[in-house]
Amino acid sequence: MQGSILIFQVLINGLLLAGVYGVAAIGLNLIFGVLRVANIAHGDFMMVGAFIVYSLYTLGLSPLIGIPVAAGVLFILGLLTERFLVERVVSQPMAYSLLLLYAVSILLRNAGLNLWTSNYVSLNVIPGSLHLGPFTVSEIRLVVFIVAVGLTLAFTFILNKTIAGKTIRASIQHPDLAGACGIDVRRVRALTFGVGTVLAGITGTFFIMLFSVNPEMGDMMILKLFAIVIVGGLGNYLGTFAGALVIAMAETFTGFYATTQFADVAVFSIFLLSLILRPQGLLGGRRAA
């Protein structure tokens, strides 16, 4: 009895974590879909979001103000990155954008290390926990999960039901034809990159409220995010959520039964296995490799 309660507890933690991962992974998937560019710097954009909120918090501003500010800053940062860097190599072979975004990653990470040092920090905004019967759920995790799911649903709605979403989907399916229909594909690319980095940044702000992070957090995040997108299938946003669930569960379970170091091994194995055995993702989508 005690054992099964414990397993359920781990399951709940995995689910809550999946909600958080999902938001950033959708941003990565979206950028990949529209620009055909693998955003290696996604984890570092997360870090920027996290530390903007942290800096504002140390100045006495609550995350409720900090998160929108971070989102705004990241949108502009993403827009500028796309417009002045990625746009120049978007029609080149993949190696160019990959190396360019690697440069962005190096830049952001080391700027972060210079500004905020390599110390681990965390924001403890809502310290309490809820007791639901035998289970314990920390309030902040629940709040973050609800916000994350809300964001994902809102995003899916925008993508599927609005003109803006239609424009984005058209640019994903056939960029040339979309251009011929009067869609400014360049603008869509810049905006998409901006939105993607905002999603990354918001996830970062969740992260700093849930865990201790330092400016090198992008390193451990990027493999997880890629694994999520691959497991979920490229261009499949519902699948991304399923992928997030797989990765988060693997991580929490191995972390629970072994150590957190094994969790990274598990993530790496899933990454490799899913690419080799099922490159189209669990629920289908475009082939990844």
Partner 1 sequence: MKVRLTFGRQFGLLLIVLFLLALVPAIASDYIVTFVLTLFMYIALAYSWNFISGYTGYISFGQIALFGVGSYGCAILILKCHVPWLLAAGMGSAIAGAFAIPLGLIMLRLKGPYFAVGMMGLFQFLAALAATWKSMTNGATGIYLPPVSALAYIYFAFLGLALALFLTTWKLEHSVFGLRLRTVKEDEEGAESLGINTTFYKVFAFVVSALGCGFAGGIQVFYVSYVDPSTAFPAVLNITMIIMSLLGGMGTYWGPLIGAALLGQISEFLWAHFPYFYLILYGCLLAFIIIFMPSGIVGYFRKRRLLREGIGLSLPQDPVKLELAKEES
Residues within the interface to partner 1 (CB under 8 A): 38, 40, 85, 88-89, 92-96, 98-100, 102-111, 113-114, 219-220, 222-223, 226, 230, 259, 261, 264-265, 267-268, 271-272, 275-276, 288-289
Distances in Å between the alpha carbon of 38 and those of 117, 149, 185?
28, 24, 18
Least distance to partner 1 from the beta carbon of 233, Å?
A: 14
Nearer to partner 1, 95 or 163 (CB): 95
| Smallest distance, partner 1 to C-beta of residue 192, A | 17
Shortest separation between residue 250's beta carbon and partner 1, angstroms = 14
Question: With DSSP H G I counted as helix, E B as strand and the rest as coil, what are the percentages for the chain, rounded to 5?
Answer: 75, 5, 20
User: For residue 143, which amino acid is it?
Assistant: V
Q: Which is nearer to partner 1, 30 or 267 (CB)?
A: 267
State the DSSP H helix or E strand holding residue 129, giving kind and residue range, or none if neither.
strand 129-132
Pick between residue 4 and residue 118 the one whose CB is nearest to partner 1. Answer: 118
CB of 1 to partner 1, least distance (A): 33
Considering beta carbons, is residue 99 or 154 the nearer one to partner 1?
A: 99
CB of 120 to partner 1, least distance (A): 17
Task: For 52-71, give one letter per residue: b (16+ CB within 10 A) or e.
Answer: bbbebbeeeeebeebbebbb
DSSP state of 173: H
Give the whole-angstrom CA distance, residue 254 versus residue 267.
Answer: 10
Nearer to partner 1, 8 or 268 (CB): 268
